[in-house]
Structure 1
Amino acid sequence: MEGPRLSYTYEVAPVFVLMEAEVLRGLRQLVGWTEGDGLFCPGGSASNMYAMNIARYQHFPEVKSQGLCGLPRLNIFTSSDSHYSVKKGAAFLGIGTDNVIIVEVDEGGRMIPDDLDEKITLAKSQGAVPFFVSCTSGTTVRGAFDPLDLIADVCEKHKLWMHVDAAWGGSVLFSKQHSHLLKGVYRANSVSWNPHKMLVAGLQCSALLLQDTTDLLRKCHSANATYLFQQDKFYDLNLDVGDKSVQCSRKVDCLKLWLMWKAVGSIGFAERVDKAFNQARYLVEQMKKREGFHLLQEPEFVNVCFWFIPPSMRGKEGMADYQDRLAKVAPVIKERMMKQGTMMVGYQPLGNKVNFFRMVVFSPLLTQKDMDFFLDEIERLGKDL
């Protein structure tokens, strides 16, 4: 067998085929599925795109042979805070970014199910065919978790495929304390999950999980190449997983998670998740004790979003140019930290909110001392602005 880089037929990589099946089964059980399917993909964006393609195939299987010419105008629904890969996937698959319908979010960044329902109904009345809803569990910026149970009700009502992009937030399923954030995830048709994010598995390690038991993944993507996937082999042909993916040979990304899971166990993963939440909570508590730190909102996850108000701007919120001045603070502090090499923390605007910092706390190596250093450094770099 070849080294830990290729997986397409059982005879080429028997251990890795079985290893991937074991890891996927374990992840599906955490979602709440006793059966199903899945594969490891080159990143969460690819996992989301796979889900979109499979959902389209389920609704219109003729698309595989006939292409787009015979299809009606399809609509995808996702929140305004969802990952950009939803639009990229729509563009790549020929659905079109204009057919990605943006659903409003509440003050915490969570999709509003009533708005989803209304927009699906409106799309139908305008002659489009809604087929796919992409929810987010752990949005990129605010770390928000969409209300999956309520969204599942809407998807069942309209008979749409429900996908959960849990690339960032899926790992909370290991934690008894925090798994409630994904309440209702078992009702989804598909879930994307990136252990290389919160669990800190080696890049890349991204899984697509399916509740489907009808072999949709293979039917959608198979090309039945006779030089690889002969039908008269002596072993179970379901072990030849290569025809399930768009790629042929794939890196054995499951190996990283398999090794970690064997080493630290589910309890170890739960401890990592809980520690991240504790560190984020500590950071927020310390921010509230210091002048100049203003939270965007109370964090739902481990994304701590905040503005730093320099001493020269404190108490001057009524100034006409206050927001313009505030928007320039984070970029300058970021430039200084990068040039001095002390930290690397992102910032961004969001809607009508000007540039704010987004501190994402998840590494198991972080300590409270690191959190204190972070706050001290923000103050040091921004005190003269």
Structure 2
Amino acid sequence: MDGSNEDILATETFVQQAMDIIMEDVVRKAGDTRGKVCEWRSPEDLKELLDLELRPDGEAHARTLQRCRDAIGYSIKTHHPHFFNQLYVGVDPYAMVGAFITDATQPSQYTYEMAPVHSLIEDVVLGKMMELMGWTEGGDGIFNPGGSMSNMYAINLARFQHCPNIKELGLSASPRMVLFTSEEAHYSVVKGAAFLGMGTKNVYMVPSDQRGKMISVELEKQIQAAKLEGAVPFMVLATAGTTVLGSFDPIEELADVCEQHNLWLHVDACWGGAVAVSSRHKHLLAGIHRAKSVAWNPHKMLMAGQQCSAFLVRDKTGLLHRCHSADASYLFQKDKFYDLSYDSGDKSVQCARKADVFRFWLMWKALGTRVLELRVDRALDTARYLTEEVKKREGFRLLMEPEYANVCFWYIPPSLRNIPESPEFWQKVHVVAPKVKERMLKKGSLMVGYQTHRDKVNFFRMIVISPLVGPTHMDFVLDEIHRLGADL
């Protein structure tokens, strides 16, 4: 690239042609069920097809455009109406445009001078999210790379509040501090404890009931046991929308326990936080206004696109800043001519930080809260339809009544339907879901996750999110699983 007029024109043409490919191969095909969810290839075959080698010389724009088509073509079509594999699906078109704009303009969310628009937007969006949490007096917060990071922020912040000297003196200044979460909690809690030097053994796993909810009485027992061991309890991490079952912990009960023992209550609402916008379903978050911090991923149920994760803190004393600040003089000068409260970089463990909030704000502005509410309500209504169909159909068995958009069920092939239930029976059922998953991927017709849970053998875990799907798509899922597994 030499900056000549011809070179600039060629670059502009390339960008326009690449955008045309995105429009044709991604946006226009978003609701089309005629195409495949994936074009499955083995790693070895895909390496050959993509020609991944990097060479001394570049290639013509036409070849590079073909790379774009190949990348789209062989990627999983997360926007496809038959994609139900993860706790997110596709991306809202307004959010996608927001991502294009931030990638094109490259703001960095550490100072107002480098991200004037996005600093103001982040402040407004965080404020609105706090309002939805019921924090009438506001608080603090930051967008960061994913819910796992939000949970790690919570652990670090709670520990700092309990033992401020740890920032300067390290773990040598700290007693043996322990935290409590449920058996159903996201694995980032354990990872966070390891990453922050606390150790995984200092994460106490509180038993959950049969519906996957943390048992507050058991939490109380474990806190007392930890104290008898000489440990110092400092926080509880509750979950609003567990990864497997979509369960919501009893936040009010857990808040009572935390207040009694002066513990920081964090709620991982990365998956379930979206019900805050729904008047019909926000009761699932009852008590969340009592939490000291909350993690919420708009890129999940609200479809703001990867990645978009907020960490909210009820504290208004600057705790987030004090915990993480390093006062870099080349970024955070004290004699700037504008309001320094908009320089949010020292709240973060990162330096450069993408303006992930913009995609969410643009989508929210375009759609309004009412449409976001309808999106949540439609997803849960569709999940309810699927649940009732599972109950009706021969060969399908529900794991439990869902509380959210996670519908978990077994498929029992005809060959197993007249066999008495026994360990041998369930071992045979155990291999059904993996085999059906293999067939659906190779066919490209569907993507649904499967897994074990406690003493339960492999089952399908359907995640219903997209506003593009409804009853006919749910019927297709059950029909297709039967087609793929009937001979097993």
Query: What is the TM-score normalised by the length of structure 1?
Result: 0.98
d(CA) in 2 for partners of 1:4, 1:139: 34
Matches within 5 A, 1:247-266: 247-266=350-369
d(CA) in 2 for partners of 1:302, 1:320: 30
- Which of 196, 221, 229 is the equivalent residue of 2:324? 221
Q: What is the Cα deviation at residue 181 of structure 1? A: 0.2
Q: Secondary structure at the residue paired with 1:69?
A: helix
* Structure 1: segments with no counterpart, 5+ residues: none
Matched with 2:253 is: 150
Matched with 1:167 is: 270
Q: Which amino acid aligns with 1:382?
A: G
Matched with 1:369 is: 472
Matched with 1:74 is: 177
- Any idea what the Cα deviations from partners look like across 1:31-67, whole Å, max 9, x if unmatched? 0113100000100000000011000000000010000
RMSD: 1.1
Q: What is the Cα deviation at residue 317 of structure 1? A: 3.1
Q: Secondary structure at the residue paired with 1:8?
A: coil
Residue 396 of structure 2 is aligned to residue 293 of structure 1: yes
Q: Is the 2:110–2:343 contact (alpha carbons within 8 Å) kept by the matching residues of 1? A: yes
Q: What is the Cα deviation at residue 4 of structure 1? A: 4.2
Q: Which amino acid aligns with 1:304?
A: V
Q: What is the Cα deviation at residue 298 of structure 1? A: 0.4
Residue 280 of structure 2 is aligned to residue 177 of structure 1: yes
Q: Is the 2:107–2:114 contact (alpha carbons within 8 Å) kept by the matching residues of 1? A: no
Q: Is the 2:238–2:265 contact (alpha carbons within 8 Å) kept by the matching residues of 1? A: yes
Matched with 1:24 is: 126
CA gap of 1:241–1:320, structure 2 versus 1, over 3 A, is closer
Matches within 5 A, 1:19-98: 19-34=121-136, 35-98=138-201
Q: Which amino acid aligns with 1:102?
A: M
Q: Which amino acid aligns with 1:327?
A: H
Matches within 5 A, 1:183-332: 183-332=286-435
d(CA) in 1 for partners of 2:404, 2:423: 33
Q: Is the 2:107–2:115 contact (alpha carbons within 8 Å) kept by the matching residues of 1? A: no
Residue 254 of structure 2 is aligned to residue 122 of structure 1: no
d(CA) in 2 for partners of 1:137, 1:184: 11
Q: What is the Cα deviation at residue 320 of structure 1? A: 4.5
- Any idea what the Cα deviations from partners look like across 1:145-168, whole Å, max 9, x if unmatched? 000000000000010000000000
d(CA) in 1 for partners of 2:448, 2:109: 36
d(CA) in 1 for partners of 2:258, 2:180: 11
d(CA) in 2 for partners of 1:237, 1:117: 43
d(CA) in 2 for partners of 1:361, 1:50: 29
Q: Which amino acid aligns with 1:19?
A: I
More displaced stretch, 203-212 vs 314-323: 314-323
Q: What is the Cα deviation at residue 367 of structure 1? A: 2.0
Q: Which amino acid aligns with 2:314?
A: Q
Q: What is the Cα deviation at residue 319 of structure 1? A: 4.1
More displaced stretch, 40-49 vs 8-17: 8-17
Q: Which amino acid aligns with 1:13?
A: A
Q: Is the 2:209–2:215 contact (alpha carbons within 8 Å) kept by the matching residues of 1? A: yes
Q: What is the Cα deviation at residue 315 of structure 1? A: 3.0
d(CA) in 2 for partners of 1:376, 1:259: 38
Residue 199 of structure 2 is aligned to residue 99 of structure 1: no
d(CA) in 2 for partners of 1:251, 1:317: 56
Q: What is the Cα deviation at residue 318 of structure 1? A: 3.2
Q: Which amino acid aligns with 2:407?
A: V
Q: Which amino acid aligns with 1:26?
A: K
- Which of 244, 248, 261 is the equivalent residue of 1:141? 244
Q: Secondary structure at the residue paired with 2:205?
A: strand
Q: Is the 2:190–2:203 contact (alpha carbons within 8 Å) kept by the matching residues of 1? A: yes
More displaced stretch, 181-190 vs 231-240: 231-240
Q: What is the Cα deviation at residue 237 of structure 1? A: 1.4
Structure showing greater Rg: 2
- Which of 11, 18, 38 is the equivalent residue of 2:113? 11
d(CA) in 2 for partners of 1:19, 1:265: 15
Q: Secondary structure at the residue paired with 1:38?
A: strand
d(CA) in 1 for partners of 2:170, 2:367: 46
- Any idea what the Cα deviations from partners look like across 1:296-337, whole Å, max 9, x if unmatched? 100000100001111111131334411111111110111110
- Any idea what the Cα deviations from partners look like across 1:224-256, whole Å, max 9, x if unmatched? 011111111112211110111001110000001
Q: What is the Cα deviation at residue 188 of structure 1? A: 0.2
More displaced stretch, 155-164 vs 7-16: 7-16
Q: Secondary structure at the residue paired with 1:354?
A: strand
Q: How many residues align?
A: 385
Matched with 2:44 is: none
Q: Which amino acid aligns with 1:165?
A: D
Q: Which amino acid aligns with 1:38?
A: G
- Which of 186, 196, 212 is the equivalent residue of 1:109? 212
d(CA) in 1 for partners of 2:420, 2:266: 42
Matched with 2:55 is: none
Q: Which amino acid aligns with 1:225?
A: A
* Structure 2: segments with no counterpart, 5+ residues: 1-101
Q: Is the 2:324–2:349 contact (alpha carbons within 8 Å) kept by the matching residues of 1? A: yes
